[in-house]
Amino acid sequence: MVHASFTSMLAFFLFFSSGCATAPKVEDPYSFGVELMADSSPESAQNEGSSPATAHTAAQEIPLVGLRGLAAAYHLDFGVAVAFKALSISKYAQIVSSEFSTLTPENEMKWQYIHPVAGSYELFFGDQLVQFAQSHQMKVRGHTLVWHNQLPRWVSESVTTEDALLKLVTEHVSTIVGHYRGKIAKWDVANEVIDDAQGMRDTLFYRLSGTEFLSTAFRAAHEADADALLYLNDYSVEAINPKSNRLYELCKALLAQGVPLHGVGLQAHWDLDDLPSMSSVRKNIERFAALGLKVDITELDIRMKGAPTPERLRVQAEAYAALVRVVLDTEGSDSITVWGVDDGHSWVPQWMSSYGSALLLDGKYRAKQAYAAVVGELSNR
Ligand code: GLA
C-alpha cells in the first residue's frame, strides 16, 4: 500500500504549526536537527567567539554567493544532503535552495523510513523533500533503495529464500521508483555492496542471492522509470585501491550482463589526515568513465579531528578545491554533493566523537575557507 498517512500529515502540521516543538514522526538516526540548531551544540559553542578558528572564520565574512549558479556555468551539479526536519529552519532552507542545485534526502528514502512495515510505504517525507526541490528548481537524487544498513528488522525476519528476497526487492524498488517517476533524476540503487576486504559485502541480500539482487534491483528501477540514471554508491572507492578495483570489476560484470547501470557514486567521506591522492582519484574517475559510466561525488565531507585551527581549515579548503578541480577537469563527472549544509547538520560528530567541522559552512551557517576555495575554483578558470 502506498500512502502518505494521516498520522504523517498530522505530524507535519504539528511540526510546522508549533514552531517545531513537535518533531515529525520520523526517527532521526542522528540526533541533530531542530534542537541542535538552537546553537547549543559543541560545534556552535566552539564557534561562539573565542576560539582562534572562529575568530578567523568570522573575520573573513565570506559571502554566500550561490554555488549552484557558479557550478551551472560548467554544467556541474552542486548538491547537498538535506534533512527534512531541518527544512523548518528558514536559514537552512534558504541556503539549501540558493546554494545547491541537487537535493539528496539524507535519510527519508532509506528502507527503514520509507518501507517500515511489510507492504506499507511511508512516502510523505520523501514527497515533501521532492516538492521542496521542485519548487526551487533543484534536481533530486534518490537515496538509497537497497542497503544493508537502516534496513528494518522485518526484512531479515520474513525473508529466508532467494525467491522471496528478489520478489521483495522488486516490489520495494518498483513501488518507490514508480512513485517518483519523472521526479527523481538519479537513484543510488544499491549502497555499499563491497566490503572493506574487497569482497562482496556479506549481507542478507548477498547471502540469499549472490549478486542477483543487484541485477533485479537495477532492472526493476529501470522498468519503473526508464529516464532515471541508476547508480552503485560506495565509500573508500574514490581513488584507485583494492576496494575500487573490486567495484570496477563488479560494474564490468553487471554491464556485461546488460544490467541498466549508469553510474557509480563515490561517497567521499574523507578524513583530513588521510586524504586520497588526487591524481589517483582522477585516474579512477577516468577508468569508470571509460566503461561508459557517469561518476558522481555523492556524499562529500572532509572531517578533522579536534578543534578546527586556521591551518587545518586552510588544508581542508585546499582539499575541497582540489576535488572540485578534478571533477571539472575529468570527463564523465559532473556532479558533487556535500553530505550536509553546515557543521551543525553533519553526521560526523554524531558518529565519530572527536571529529567534526567537515562541511563548507560552520555551525552558524557562516561560510568557511572551504566554501571560499570552492567558489574560487568555480570562478577563476
Ligand atoms: C553512508 C550512507 C549515507 C549516510 C552516510 C553518513 O555513506 O550512504 O546515507 O548514512 O553514510 O552517515
| Contact between 213 and 206 (Cβ < 8 Å) | yes
Backbone angle region of 41, left / alpha / beta, with phi > 0 → left and psi within -120 to 50 → alpha? beta
Q: Is the pLDDT of residue 15 over 90?
A: no
Grid cell 575554483 — which residue?
Answer: 377
Q: CA 96 to CA 136: how far, in whole Å?
A: 9
Neighbours of 161 (CB within 10 A): 10
pLDDT computed for residue 208 by the predictor = 98
Strands (E), the chain: 2-3, 77-82, 102-105, 121-122, 139-146, 186-191, 229-234, 263-266, 269-271, 294-305, 335-338, 355-356
- Digit-coded pLDDT (tens) for 193-244: 999 998 999 999 999 999 999 999 999 999 999 999 999 999 999 999 999 9
| Contact between 103 and 143 (Cβ < 8 Å) | no
Q: Is the pLDDT of residue 22 over 70?
A: no
Whole-angstrom Cα Rg for the chain: 20
Q: Which of 124, 216, 127, 227 is nearest to 172 (CA)?
A: 216
pLDDT computed for residue 380 by the predictor = 80
DSSP element (H, E) containing 254: helix 242-256
Strands (E), 12-71: none
**Residue of 299, 301, 359 to test ligand 1 pocket, by largest number of atoms within 8 Å of CB:** 299
**Residue of 267, 296, 351, 352 to test ligand 1 pocket, by largest number of atoms within 8 Å of CB:** 267
Mean pLDDT of the chain: 88
User: From the CB of 108, is ligand 1 less than 6 Å away?
Assistant: no
- Digit-coded pLDDT (tens) for 53-82: 343 444 569 999 999 999 999 999 999 999
